[in-house]
Amino acid sequence: MQLGTRWTSGDEPPKAVPEALVRGIRSVDASIPGDELGQPRPRWTLTWLEGKPIAELDTGVIVTLDENGEPVAQNDPDAGFA
């Protein structure tokens, strides 16, 4: 696995993130409610596994690309989130 980069949810993803993955990330970011208590927003981590990009949010949400190159978001069952 090759480590990519990290950025805060809601910020512009780095240029290293493929555009199709950016669409999925933006969709997830849009679903995160605003925090009125001043808590920090979760952060994304971009990694590459077998040449394929994977974006994982600190909350356990993972965005990958399907066989057609379309973004797919899912929860990591090991992260303890539903």
Of the listed ranges 1-5, 8-12, 42-46, 65-69, the one predicted with least confidence: 1-5
What is residue 59's three-state secondary structure? coil
Higher local confidence (pLDDT), 43 or 81: 43
The model's pTM is 0.82
* Complete DSSP assignment for 34-58: PPTT-PPPPEEEEEEETTEEEEEET
Enumerate the domain spans of the chain: 2-29+42-79
Q: What is the pLDDT of residue 36?
A: 67
Residue that has been written with the tokens 């950025």 in this structure? 7
Question: What are the tens digits of pLDDT across the range 19-63?
Answer: 999 999 999 999 887 766 667 889 999 999 988 999 999 999 999
User: What pLDDT shows up at residue 40?
Assistant: 80
Walk across the sheet containing 43-49 and list its strands.
Answer: 2-8, 43-49, 52-57, 61-65, 71-75
Q: Are 8 and 25 in contact (CB under 8 A)?
A: no
